[in-house]
Homo-oligomer: A and B are copies of this chain.
Amino acid sequence: MKTSKTSRRQAAIASFMQAMREEMRLSILWGNAAAGLAGINPTDAITMIFLNEVGEATAGQLAKITGLTTGAMTAAIDRLESAGLAARKVDPHDRRKVIVKAIKMPTQLSALRRTVTKELEDTLLHYSETELLRFIDMKNITNAFLKRCINLYDDKHVRSFMNSRTKP
């Protein structure tokens, strides 16, 4: 019995979703494991990695990026500040805002990133650059999809700052 084209498509899409769910679960596990390796709590790790990329951001932006409440972010910044990893300063243009500036990257996180990069290079060894670029395109597509799902949840919550970072 021959399978129809559309049902094969649906089966492919179902497999795709299954793989995405698996990836989501693993991502969370890995986030926690990585933070554990670095001896830092997962939230603080994500915050520092992000801060390290952008240099500085407001407390509110960090809350949106990490998906935490502003209250939790206040506490996280307290921890980072007392660990000497980041510092607060008031935004001179808007004194309600608190700008958080990265001071230094926890050395274990940097070391971990090097290890993981090496591991990923080994994994991707047998793929051509063209294939890699196609993979990246595809990741961007699913990331856009995830963003739409998240916006489906709350239109104003994440969109503004997130889009401003990842569009280009």
Interface residues of chain A, those whose CB is within 8 Å of chain B, are 5, 8-10, 12-17, 19-34, 36-37, 46, 49, 65-67, 115-117, 119-121, 123-124, 129, 132-136, 138-150, 152-154, 158, 166
Chain B: minimal CB distance from A142 (Å): 7
At the interface, is chain A mostly helix, strand, loop or mixed?
helix
A67 partner, pick from B8, B29, B147, beta carbons under 8 A? B29
Given contacts A12-B136, A16-B132, contact A33 B141 (CB under 8 A): no
The answer on a CB contact under 8 Å between B115 and A152 is yes
Write out the residue numbers on chain B whose beta carbons fall within 8 Å of the beta carbon of A14: 117
Among A134, A148, A153, which residue has the most Cβ atoms of chain B within 10 A? Answer: A153
The answer on a CB contact under 8 Å between A119 and B37 is no
Chain B: minimal CB distance from A145 (Å): 5
The answer on a CB contact under 8 Å between B33 and A153 is yes
CA distance A129 to B46 in the complex (A): 36
Number of copies: 2
Closest to A26 in B: B146
Write out the residue numbers on chain B whose beta carbons fall within 8 Å of the beta carbon of A143: 19, 22-23, 26
CA distance A17 to B115 in the complex (A): 13
The answer on a CB contact under 8 Å between B138 and A135 is yes
A123 partner, pick from B123, B145, B150, beta carbons under 8 A? B145
CA distance A154 to B127 in the complex (A): 28
Among A20, A27, A116, A138, which residue has the most Cβ atoms of chain B within 10 A? Answer: A27
- What would 16 A/B residue contacts be, using CB atoms closer than 8 Å? A9-B129, A12-B132, A13-B117, A13-B120, A13-B132, A19-B139, A25-B46, A26-B150, A27-B146, A33-B149, A33-B150, A37-B153, A115-B152, A116-B149, A123-B148, A138-B138
